[in-house]
Amino acid sequence: MVKTNHPEILSCPKCFVISDCITEKCKKECIGACAENAINIEKDRAEIITSACSSCSKCAIACPISAIDKNPLEYYQDENNPEKGYLLCNICKNAYSWIPIIYITDRCRQDRCKLVCVERCPTKTLNYFRWTKRSKRIQIDRELCNGCGICVECCPENAIVIHPTLSFIHKMGWDDFLKLNTKKREMGVAIKKIFRPQKPLRKVESFFLCGIVVATYNYVRSVLEKESPGWIIDSGCGGNLFRETISGNLKDDIWGIDGYTEPHAYAPVCLIADAEYLPFQNQTIPAYVSNFVLEHSANPIQYLKEAYRTMKPGGLLIISVPTSYWHLGNTMSIYYNFQYLLKIIHKPSYFLKNPLRHFIMERSHEKDHALDSNQKRHTLLDEIRLWKIEKWEAIYRSSGFNILDRSIAGHLMSTHHLSILAKLPQPSRFGVHCTHVLGKE
């Protein structure tokens, strides 16, 4: 259970509200910080123009008396089905609910079940892909999956599970919410449902972990053990690999959030949310971990400012990003070279037309991993330029953070999927990854 004294820690990801505002006590910093002119002063009090607000968080960070915060949510329970609940924002009138998320565990063995789940899926969400690890050959199309649970019921190996998860990506309108038979409950009930103990879904094959991942995780773990910040949000946790590589009591204090749920995750995420619009109130999170996420963000400044807004004074953000030397290690990786070879085989004419241009465009990391269309157009040369350590540090400082420590890790061989490579001496300057410990005063 999360060790917090803030039962109303959750808030609407987009709506801000102003309370206890006395403009005589400040220099109206919120107006200067708002680029959209979404704040007016009426009768010595700041007011937010909701229709003009972009939810950038700049006003909340700038306010010296912490009068601006995201709007707290109210919890409603379905009277017909007590297992269902909804978090309602009384400003935008959107309701956020728990949605069924399907996960495939490492018990999956297609040779024993004859792909019953694929055949019976009514939405054709499940597909079989032979050329991967056996327990990951059943693939899920998240856009088609409606969480009906038929695959769970028919699986003879009990390898497919449903995990209801609160989602701030999917929302219900006011009219649909009014049709439900609900009753308002205490917010603490919702907090317990969200931050309940997480059971692992599959074992981590630690021997085949990427060397740079192991080296980075070892450093992050050492910082957390030293600082003991309390409970931790793993922002952009993916399949919760970091949490499941941790042992001891520290593991139980790590809670993963992500905007996407990995079907073959090592453990379920506890919250589905966009890290650029966090559903947390000001100064409520003791520490964040962000491993290999910021480079994928469409708006890195917004990502960092949201972390800054929600962190407690004295809190920590431990953030890992690639450096300009990452692509040098990437060209020596068997895995990434194989992926590039598949691209050539898929479109040989594109490669033969201009091999150099093809290499510069298609070896870009964000070509395959970015969520933003503009980032997908970044070339290998763009990433080498943008991923300089001094540029990352400039972004951290501009977002208000203090740089407390830095660790450079990853030699040219550490991009291979062998954890033993992490035991080799790590570079002090030309590493492929860099982890910073950032603090908030």
Same domain (yes/no): 212, 305: yes
Domain count of the fold of the chain: 3
CB 424 within 8 A of CB 413: yes
Q: Identify whether 122 is part of a domain.
A: yes
Question: What range defines the domain where residue 220 resides?
Answer: 206-327+367-439
Q: How far apart are CA 71 and CA 11, in angstroms?
A: 5
With respect to residue 343, please indicate whether it lies within any of the assigned structural domains. Answer: no
Residue-wise pLDDT for 349-372, tens only, equals: 999 999 999 999 999 888 887 777
Strands 232-235 and 85-88: unpaired
pLDDT digits (tens, 9 = 90+) for 126-159: 888 876 777 788 888 888 888 899 999 999 888 9
Q: What share of the chain is helix, strand, coil (3-state, %, to 5)?
A: 35, 25, 40
> Taking Cα atoms as reference points, which of 239, 218, 419 lies closest to residue 320?
218
Is 8 inside a domain boundary? no
* Residue % of the chain over a pLDDT of 90: 53
Q: What is the residue type of 223?
A: V
User: Would 347 be classed as within a structural domain?
Assistant: no
Question: 238 with 296, same domain?
Answer: yes
pTM of the complete model: 0.92
Residues 256 and 380 in one domain: yes
Q: Residues 278, 386: one domain?
A: yes
CATH label of the domain that carries residue 410:
3.40.50.150
Q: What is the CATH number of the domain that holds 142?
A: 3.30.70.20
pLDDT computed for residue 5 by the predictor = 44
**Mean pLDDT, range 79-105, rounded to an integer:** 92
Residues 381, 269 share a domain: yes
* Domain-located, residue 80: yes
Q: Give a yes or no: residue 351 inside a domain.
A: no
